[in-house]
Amino acid sequence: MAKRFRLKKLINWTVQGPIVTRLIIHFLAYNMAMLFLLLLVYGIKTSLAAIAETPVSAEPMTFWQQAAPVVICMCAMMPFMIWDLVKLTNRIAGPLFRFESILKDFATSGLLRKAALREGDLLTDYQKQFNEFVESLHALYPHTKPVSKSPDAASVTVPFRQTV
């Protein structure tokens, strides 16, 4: 069987867009910090050479002297990048967890409630489609609708049982 390759890489910009944007911002911030550190090290080395009245490149730099700014920049920037990306992915994982718990409740109780997401969560287009599905299911099977008008209601006496 031949593999089919997905031609369209950006399927949902509302989900993938913030991730791509953050990665670009992280890449630019990392490179700006790296450039700043390299220029700082070069400036300090040049200033020290001018004070000592010696040529700037009297001796070749060792590997660790060259790599120190890179290592410092990596160690300084990585925690911020990881923290920011975890925060961003929580805006995706939170709604997925919410949808999963609603479906698990439906499987056990037979009652299907609408999904309510927090402000700032992604997957709002999926929430809209999910809630439209819930409304159509409630129209077909009224006994699946929770008694309370709130979307968090979970108590009703009649569970969902599909009859053929």
Q: What is the pLDDT of residues 50-73, one digit of tens each?
A: 787 766 555 666 777 778 878 888
| Residue 118, domain extent | 79-164
State how many domains the chain has.
Answer: 1
Residue of 162 and 89 predicted with greater confidence: 89
Return the pLDDT at 96: 93
Structure tokens at 83: 């923290």
Tell me, yes or no, whether 54 lies in a domain: no
Tell me, yes or no, whether 27 lies in a domain: no
Tell me, yes or no, whether 49 lies in a domain: no
Return the pLDDT at 56: 59
Return the pLDDT at 157: 39
Tell me, yes or no, whether 139 lies in a domain: yes
Return the pLDDT at 101: 94
Tell me, yes or no, whether 117 lies in a domain: yes
Contact 111, 156 (CB under 8 A): yes
Other beta carbons within 10 angstroms of residue 126's beta carbon come to: 17
Tell me, yes or no, whether 148 lies in a domain: yes
Burial tier of 138 (Cβ tally within 10 Å: 0-12, 13-18, 19+)? middle
Residue 146 DSSP label? -
Tell me, yes or no, whether 13 lies in a domain: no
Structure tokens at 58: 């009297």
pLDDT, average across residues 139-160: 65
Q: What whole-number distance in Å separates Cα of residue 93 and Cα of residue 71?
A: 32
Tell me, yes or no, whether 4 lies in a domain: no
